[in-house]
Structure 1
Amino acid sequence: MFRNLLCTLVFTIACCWHSAAQSTYCNPMDIDYKYNFEQMNEGISYRSGADPVIINHKGEYFLFVTISGGYWHSKDLLNWKYLTANRWPFEDMCAPAAVLVRDTLFLFQSTFESRPILYSVAPEKGIWEFYNRWTPRLPKDIGPWDPALFHDPDTDKWYMYWGSSNVYPIFGSELDYSKRLAFKGQYQAMFWLNQYEHGWERFGPNHSDPFKPFTEGAWMTKHKGRYYLQYGAPGTEYNVYANGTYVGNSPLGPFTYAPYNPVSYKPGGFATGAGHGNTFQDNFGNYWNTGTTWIGFNWGMERRIVMHPAGFDKDGQMFANTRFGDFPHKLPSKTWTGKADELFAGWMLLSYKKPAVASSTLDTMNVAKITDENPRTFWAARQNKPGETVTIDLQTEHDIKAVQVNYADYRSDIYDNDPGKVYTQFKILVSSDGNAWKEVVDLSREPKRDRPCAYVELTAPVRARYVRYEHGYVASPNLAISEFRIFGNGLGKAPETPAKFTAVRQKDERNADLKWEKVPGAVGYNVLWGIAPDKLYQTYQFWNDEPDTFELRALNVGVPYYFAIEAFNENGVSKMSSVIAPQEASAQPLPVKK
């Protein structure tokens, strides 16, 4: 009996206290997103996060997000603690700008009015002071909205970039440090969008809408003497929201459009969209690119935050790796080599379209929606009470390594962020036969915090067929989960490489028709492309139950491209196909995927 008790104790410690050993992360970022009050007068309550900026200050990280009443602090890019400040804009902060200059962190908000710049030498303590009483000398409809502050360490000069419009360009101006960062001289237009030559800058789902696109979210990165002025486009509320860049030899240009754009692009999978973020370096010198992924159920601008490995190749080409970008990735402990799969944990999605049963269901929000990899559909329980369950049948045994629970704010009535009220608790149990269950996660054992995108890595793999979510607590009146994602590895073989992969460039060079032959046992496919055979930095993920043809509408006119494809399933990833160049333009373009 004592031996059984000891084994149980060891198992519980190893599996439940997972966070102490966690070394991976999974997009969307697992932070306590705050309830957003932009639509409070309309009676809409939801958690959201957008327009992220992460700054490395003295080896620690600070995350600023639109309308959050504060900001987050982390020592490892994994565990984030929410902080409030002694000074904060009265109406909160939208699309914040932040920059580190020596030991001082500066912070500014989007505005069409007169607003201050704040500064801190101890942001981890929430201590901020006024640097100025900023009075912009700009027309009312120009801003500066969506600003970015930039300090050039080589010249000790300051600059600001801004813009959020489908009419105006991205602007830039030097700032006068001697006058508390007032504008120095006349501000200038840096560039406009050009959807007629840049396919990815077209608006709508998969760039299919003729509406004039939006540019926003400026950010400047200096790398090896060159200036990369980044921007978000073409619209927040679509799967193709991305970051691009222009490149110049001075902070105010002239700038040249990068032919390899977009830089960070993730139109397929669960966490779609990667636009409007920033680029920063971690403590090992590795680059990261942050961005916004679209939820869009309660409101068109309902969003979460993503973070992708990024960098510059030997030719100075800027890139972000979004391949399997919403699957678990390892956090680096050293400088990475830049290989595409270096940080990918190799843990596959086990739950896609797998059968599920629930203890109860509210109305038509059936449990099948919990495994469809769509953040805008969800299951809801008849009551929000402890003990409600969802059980997924993986159909065969797998080595389970992590889970992610994404909650939906269905008919929420929360208009405050009281941590004593707003928190998340649940248990995860596993079974090989559906009868005997083992508890592997229990968030009630951890400090209370809200986790709308809770990602939990198990200390050791657990082999099982069934995985159960057992509800504890959420503050919302309804228990609603958009996706219960299970990661690990199956016990079989990875799929074969897809055959007969073709890419045909249309007469409209912004588009290419893709086609491949489906592979038995595949869960999905990654189409990879880029401007050279060794620069396939772009990825579009497809599911096996989707069509095997697709019109890609993200290309740049006058730029040659190369393509390849790979298949994946629960067991792993196939070898990549041969790299191909597009064939001649087709006479009959394929229909646009909506």
Structure 2
Amino acid sequence: MSFRIGLAAASLVLAPPASAQAVKTYANPIDIDYCYNFEQEDRGISFRTGADPAIVRYKDEYYLFQTLADGYWRSADLVDWQFIKPSKWPYDSVIAPAAWVDGDKLYLMPSMTAPEQVYVTTDPASGNLEWFDRTMPPLPGAVRPFEEELIRSGDGRVPPGPWDPALFKDDDGKWYMYWNSSNVFPLYGIEIGMDGRFTYKGKPVEMLGLHPDRHGWERFGQDHDGLNKAGAATTPFMEGAWMTKVRGRYYLQYGAPGTEFNAYANGTYVSDKPLGPFTYAPYNPIAYKPGGFVEGAGHGSTVEDKYGNWWNSGTPWIGYNWDFERRINLFPTTFTDDGQMMVSSRFGDFPHIMPTGKVEDIDDLFTGWMLLSYRKPATASTTLGEFTPDRATDEDPRSFWVATDKAPGQTLTLDLGAAKTVRAVQVNFADYKAGLYGDGPDVYTEFKLESSLDGKAWTPLADTGPDRRDRANAYLQLPAPVTARYVRYVHGHVGAAYLAISDLRVFGSAGGKDPATPQRVMAKRDSDPRNALISWAKVPSAVGYNIRWGIRPDRLALTYQLWADELGDGPVLNKELRALTVGQGYHVAVEAFNESGVSALSRTVAVE
């Protein structure tokens, strides 16, 4: 039995309270208790972070491991996550871990530059971890840490590690490991033994490397401009290996070109053998989200849920307190019969349905609930300096409102402009001089939401409930739609030194007409074939646009989301795509959206 819900059907299914409880939704970044990071404590930089997710399914539950957390998360449905404190854990925590499930055993392997522990458990829900191997053998041919400059191409030596490892067990029972994080060295692979202890079989094999001269999306920087924060040309980074096998094809995935910008993405090479040779997928990148509130999608994992649906996770970018301040996203994924891996980031930070059955079309998981809060007037009970309330409606996680103190009762109020149907709210907190470097009993989030039609009489809308946990990106789905013009945040508690909210995001429908279909779409390839200029006629009622493109006109798998007010006031709008592959043909179309819905897709044109 398939599970297929279109936009209209989604609204019908979620309207009554009973049905709403049966169908759960989520919004990126995912709502987990991101940990306060100790990594920059000596510099006085305090921030929550989540990065490099490894999500695996153990029996009928899911386990999420990530960078620099004091444990891991468990979920029965990929929506509600419970933090688990493990019995054993490295003193300096785990960075970019590998995880794999083999029958009743779940293996966990941290990144390392010298031999360390590998963990195993047959009861991950309890947190009881055992050592599978107390001291891994050194990588064959590895130099010592900080001696990478000694390596010469073809001399058989590799960097110290494995850093950013990935584990994979094939159908024939053989095990493999893939690894590396570098802007110099490639990803490597090797066959390993997992019988009693961790062993290597053979020598490391070079799997793949970056080619930014041919693959536009592999260029470093904001929108692949090739520059670092100081404005200097920078060689891109490749990391985050993950292996997925589907219908006899091996998809070796990797993150590039760097986590500190909006264009961080996942790509894949494909082979019919676990150690290759691998061929660059012409439809790369596979997971790409450079626009919108959630920016970036690189370095993650791919997991099949218990219904046979696929999900790709990644590491979107926050980057206010530090370049490596990040979160975690989850995008629906599919593999076509002819082998294309497709990850949908279309409206990837708007609410999506979490299915309870097999999905036929991953685009059907978008609820159709539109953003009602963009650039809406906001007022607050107090404001600290330049951190004004309007910053909480600009869809930018690097700008935020700050209250003068964090006392209970502080408020942030949005005026939606008219009575509208509200379906969900996401409260995104920021870390402004938070002063925290780890967990503690005072680190939890508590608030309530209220709604009003006139700004005078207020009705309870939602609250965080009795479960005390930290929720940097709290997503609250309403049990039934509510008609409201005003939405108010009423503060209860945060562990940080200040109450700071980057965006109070309200989703639902304005109840009006969908925007008109964009016309006069054109796509012109630049003299640099990695770039193309996309243009279209302005749609008067549009709040934003999605540029959708791909290597086939019927598979516009990639999306760049844009806000209309960022594109100017002229009659013709344009945006440069800089993620194309030299020698590869593309097709592109544009859709407009507003607070009521999404237009029909424009005609699809070839990128000439």
**TM-score where L is the length of structure 1:** 0.93
Matched residue SS, 1:433: coil
Aligned match for 1:510, one of 508, 530, 533: 530
Match of 1:591 in 2: none
Matched residue SS, 2:471: coil
Compute the displacement of 1:16 (Å). Answer: 12
Match of 1:527 in 2: 547
Matched residue SS, 1:259: coil
Match of 2:9 in 1: none
Compute the displacement of 1:361 (Å). Answer: 0.5
In structure 2, the CA distance between the partners of 1:448 and 1:179, relative to structure 1 (3 Å rule), is closer
Matched, 1:402 2:424: yes
Distance 1:572 1:302 in 2: 32
Match of 2:289 in 1: 266
Aligned match for 2:607, one of 576, 582, 585: 582
Aligned match for 1:144, one of 140, 162, 165: 162
Q: Deviations over 1:437-486 (max 9, x none)?
A: 1111122x321111110000000000011111111110111000000000
Q: Deviations over 1:137-195 (max 9, x none)?
A: 32234221000011102x11011000100000001111023472211111011111000
Aligned match for 1:571, one of 596, 604, 608: 596
Matched, 1:327 2:350: yes
Aligned match for 2:585, one of 560, 566, 574: 560
Compute the displacement of 1:211 (Å). Answer: 1.3
CA-atom RMSD, angstroms?
A: 1.6
Distance 2:363 2:534 in 1: 24
The percentage of aligned residue pairs carrying the same residue is: 52
Match of 2:153 in 1: none
- Maintained 8 Å contact 2:332/2:362: no
Match of 2:487 in 1: 467
Distance 2:293 2:508 in 1: 17
Which letter maps to 1:560? Answer: G
Matched residue SS, 1:124: helix
Match of 1:56 in 2: 57
Distance 1:435 1:177 in 2: 65
Compute the displacement of 1:256 (Å). Answer: 0.4
Match of 1:134 in 2: 136
Aligned match for 1:384, one of 406, 409, 417: 406
In structure 2, the CA distance between the partners of 1:32 and 1:516, relative to structure 1 (3 Å rule), is same
Distance 1:21 1:489 in 2: 21
Matched, 1:170 2:191: no
Aligned match for 2:515, one of 467, 489, 495: 495
Matched, 1:354 2:372: no
Matched residue SS, 2:565: coil
Compute the displacement of 1:498 (Å). Answer: 1.2
Compute the displacement of 1:507 (Å). Answer: 2.2
Match of 1:200 in 2: 217
Match of 1:10 in 2: none
Distance 1:109 1:314 in 2: 34
Distance 1:535 1:488 in 2: 28
- Maintained 8 Å contact 1:70/1:83: yes
Which letter maps to 2:176? Answer: Y
Compute the displacement of 1:402 (Å). Answer: 0.4
- Maintained 8 Å contact 2:20/2:480: no
Distance 1:552 1:298 in 2: 28
Compute the displacement of 1:20 (Å). Answer: 6.0
Match of 2:576 in 1: 551
- Maintained 8 Å contact 1:52/1:64: yes
Q: Deviations over 1:294-336 (max 9, x none)?
A: 0001110000000000010121100100000000000001110
Aligned match for 2:446, one of 404, 425, 428: 425
Matched residue SS, 1:516: strand
Which letter maps to 2:462? Answer: V
Matched residue SS, 1:288: strand
Matched, 1:290 2:300: no
Matched residue SS, 1:174: strand
Match of 1:159 in 2: 176
Q: Deviations over 1:474-507 (max 9, x none)?
A: 0111000000000001111010011111110112
Distance 1:21 1:379 in 2: 35
Match of 2:72 in 1: 71
Distance 1:171 1:205 in 2: 27
Match of 1:251 in 2: 274
Which letter maps to 2:47? Answer: Y
In structure 2, the CA distance between the partners of 1:301 and 1:355, relative to structure 1 (3 Å rule), is same
In structure 2, the CA distance between the partners of 1:17 and 1:67, relative to structure 1 (3 Å rule), is farther
Distance 1:315 1:559 in 2: 18
Matched residue SS, 1:90: coil
Distance 2:368 2:492 in 1: 30
Aligned match for 1:216, one of 214, 239, 250: 239
Matched residue SS, 1:310: strand
Distance 1:243 1:212 in 2: 17
Which letter maps to 1:204? Answer: G
Distance 2:78 2:577 in 1: 34
- Maintained 8 Å contact 1:405/1:483: yes
Distance 2:330 2:364 in 1: 15
Distance 1:47 1:340 in 2: 31
Matched, 1:452 2:472: yes
Which letter maps to 1:429? Answer: E
- Maintained 8 Å contact 1:18/1:457: no
- Maintained 8 Å contact 1:310/1:319: yes
Unaligned ranges ≥5, structure 2: 1-14, 149-158, 227-232, 568-572
Distance 1:250 1:28 in 2: 34
- Maintained 8 Å contact 1:524/1:567: yes
Which letter maps to 2:442? Answer: K
In structure 2, the CA distance between the partners of 1:554 and 1:238, relative to structure 1 (3 Å rule), is same
Which letter maps to 2:566? Answer: E
- Maintained 8 Å contact 1:531/1:559: yes
Q: Deviations over 1:229-285 (max 9, x none)?
A: 000000001111000000011110000000100010001100010000000000101
Distance 1:103 1:179 in 2: 15
Matched residue SS, 1:304: coil
- Maintained 8 Å contact 2:163/2:180: yes
- Maintained 8 Å contact 1:49/1:303: yes
Match of 1:97 in 2: 98
Q: Deviations over 1:42-81 (max 9, x none)?
A: 1111110000011100110000010101000111111110
Matched, 1:85 2:86: yes
Distance 1:396 1:501 in 2: 33
- Maintained 8 Å contact 1:387/1:472: yes
- Maintained 8 Å contact 1:504/1:582: yes
Distance 2:191 2:461 in 1: 55
Give the number of aligned pairs.
566
Matched, 1:372 2:390: no
Which letter maps to 2:45? Answer: I
Distance 2:299 2:521 in 1: 33
Aligned match for 1:241, one of 229, 241, 264: 264
Distance 1:40 1:535 in 2: 46
Distance 1:205 1:41 in 2: 28
Aligned match for 1:301, one of 300, 321, 324: 324
- Maintained 8 Å contact 1:349/1:485: yes
